[in-house]
Homo-oligomer: A and B are copies of this chain.
Amino acid sequence: MYTRAEENYLKCIFHLEQEHKGAVATNAIAQMMSTKASSATDMIQRLADKELVSYRRYKGTTLTKEGIAVAVAVIRKHRLWEVFLVEKLNFQWDEVHEIAEQLEHIQSEELITRLDKFLDHPDYDPHGDPIPDKDGNIKKTEKKVLSEMSKSQHGILVGVRETSGEFLQYLDKRNIAIGTKIKVLGKEFFDGSMIIQVKKEQFFISKKIAENLYIQV
């Protein structure tokens, strides 16, 4: 099995690779892991020795098949635990990330099989992210970033990008949650800000907010 640190690096590289499509820069990894570039290099080289990533000095890092499998397994565990925490223990969706970061490293195939069944095989976690299946397949959701939508388009919120407590609380305060219908009433070219309709109410939102909301059209 792999260490906690290894699993965390693999998960991190997986997410970065998804975002930017292509080899991941050492600095990007270091930054996301809140560590120094030298530490990241060190770990990357160890992961390369174990053939979990392929790596060429100064050129960047990509996950191997095995590396992807490990990363996705960890993500599956993380998201299943998040469902458990919200659905069964009644946590708010913005409180679960930190705890799931720990739970995702518990080693037991059987545990996850049973947890998945107990939760009735959920497809999405409380933030709207898809839960990989046992074999590592992830449902691709054809979601759009709200900031890329134009006037009078509408859809439902299926996920968020940023997962900080502040951001999720911002949404809660405005009654915006996964599943909420959102319509774009207006868009300002100058700064990318928008006026949106949520249920009976209308809000002004900045570009920064709009960039962090995923909408299914």
Note all chain B residues with C-beta closer than 8 A to A102: 106-108
Number of copies: 2
Note all chain B residues with C-beta closer than 8 A to A85: 111
Note all chain B residues with C-beta closer than 8 A to A205: none
- Tell me, yes or no, whether A88 is within 8 Å of chain B by CB: yes
Contact A111 B99 (CB under 8 A): yes
Within 8 A of B (CB), among A85-122: 85, 88-91, 95, 98-99, 102-103, 106-108, 110-111, 114-115, 118
Note all chain B residues with C-beta closer than 8 A to A107: 102
Q: Number of A residues contacting the other chain (C-beta, 8 Å)?
A: 18
The A interface, classified by DSSP as helix, strand, loop or mixed, is helix
- Give complex CA distance A90, B95 in Å: 27
- Give complex CA distance A115, B103 in Å: 14
Hey, which bits of chain A sit against chain B, CB under 8 A?
85, 88-91, 95, 98-99, 102-103, 106-108, 110-111, 114-115, 118
